[in-house]
A and B are shown apart, each in its own frame.
Chain A
Amino acid sequence: MPMGLFWFLAALSVLSALGVVLQRNPLHCLLSLVLTLLTIAVLFIGQDAVVVGFLQAIVYAGAIMVLFLFVIWLLNVPVETRPTGHLAFKFFGMIAVAALLAELAVFVLPPHLKVKYSGHPAGYGSIEALAQSLFSDYLIAFEITSILLLVAVIGAVALARRSSEIEIKERAQDAARVEKAA
């Protein structure tokens, strides 16, 4: 990957990541997030991780983000008109993040991070190499992933389904009790 391309992508990904955090309209946050994911996908492809890079673009920036978009539209989320949350929370959050960054810098900066680049073997990052790893060394993890997805699908359906009348009545009673206590 040429250095110029790297600097362009790095600047774009950091700016769009800041856009996720700083923008008031959740829809704009989401579009910034999609841009971040796409720049990271290009960074993957630039490092010969071609299959994973395309998966990132199609599955992550495509499918998962459409799910987010769908929920934002479904809930009709309002634009925030003023800063929210406690100031103290933000203050201590910033201190925590500064500490985290300092710690990461210790690991990332040259004296500690010594990895010798030995060149990529033939077929590195191809779908054959990925499948070879996935279906030999990581076979059990791969099978467990299928169970995870099954459980997630069942869980999502159970959560988002319409409630029965009995449940709605119980919930109304709970809400009345909470209001009386408050």
Chain B
Amino acid sequence: MTMVPLTYLMALSAAIFAIGVVGFLTRRNILVMFMSIELMLNAVNLAFISLGSRLGSMDGQVIVFFVMTVAAAEAAVGLGIIITIFRNRETVHADDLTLLRW
């Protein structure tokens, strides 16, 4: 059984994380910004699993388990906030929400 070099896996993780950051900074649709956060979370999960696999330790997998739980909680609350914003302002565009900006 061949092992994929750790460097490749970490580079893939870094690439997906960077794409997530680009999406968060360039897109203004709140839902797509939210999806970019999920991309970043998953890139970090991949790094945890890869390093844990190389070290022969279960700790990485447990942390990924916790990240998934936090992502579920985040999705529930975040989408609740988005629905509330949409109900009050009829928009999902981040630049339209300027009430607290001067």
- Among A39-82, those with CB < 8 Å from B are 40, 43-44, 46-49, 51-52, 55-56, 59-60, 63-64, 67-68, 71-72, 74-75, 77, 80
A-B contact count (CB 8 A): 235
Q: What is the CA–CA distance of A156 and B74 in the complex, to the nearest angstrom?
A: 10
Q: Which residues of A contact B66 (CB under 8 A)?
A: 138, 141, 145
- Among B32-79, those with CB < 8 Å from A are 32, 34-36, 38-39, 42, 45-46, 49-56, 58-62, 64-66, 68-77, 79
A36, B80: Cβ atoms closer than 8 Å: no
Contact of B32 among A26, A36, A90, A152 (CB under 8 A): A26
Q: What is the CA–CA distance of A152 and B73 in the complex, to the nearest angstrom?
A: 5
Q: What is the CA–CA distance of A36 and B38 in the complex, to the nearest angstrom?
A: 10
Least Cβ–Cβ distance between A118 and chain B, in angstroms: 5
- Residue on B nearest A125 in the bound complex, by CB: B61
- Residue on A nearest B72 in the bound complex, by CB: A64
Q: Which residues of B contact A1 (CB under 8 A)?
A: 1-4
Q: Which residues of B contact A120 (CB under 8 A)?
A: 53, 56
Question: Majority SS of interface residues in chain A?
Answer: helix
Given known A-B contacts A77-B31, A84-B95, A149 and B10 have beta carbons under 8 A apart:
no
Count residues of A near B (Cβ-Cβ below 8 Å). Answer: 87
- Residue on B nearest A17 in the bound complex, by CB: B19
Q: Which residues of B contact A101 (CB under 8 A)?
A: 14, 18
A156, B25: Cβ atoms closer than 8 Å: no
B positions within 8 Å CB-CB of A: 1-4, 6-12, 14-23, 25-29, 31-32, 34-36, 38-39, 42, 45-46, 49-56, 58-62, 64-66, 68-77, 79-84, 86, 88, 92-93, 95, 99
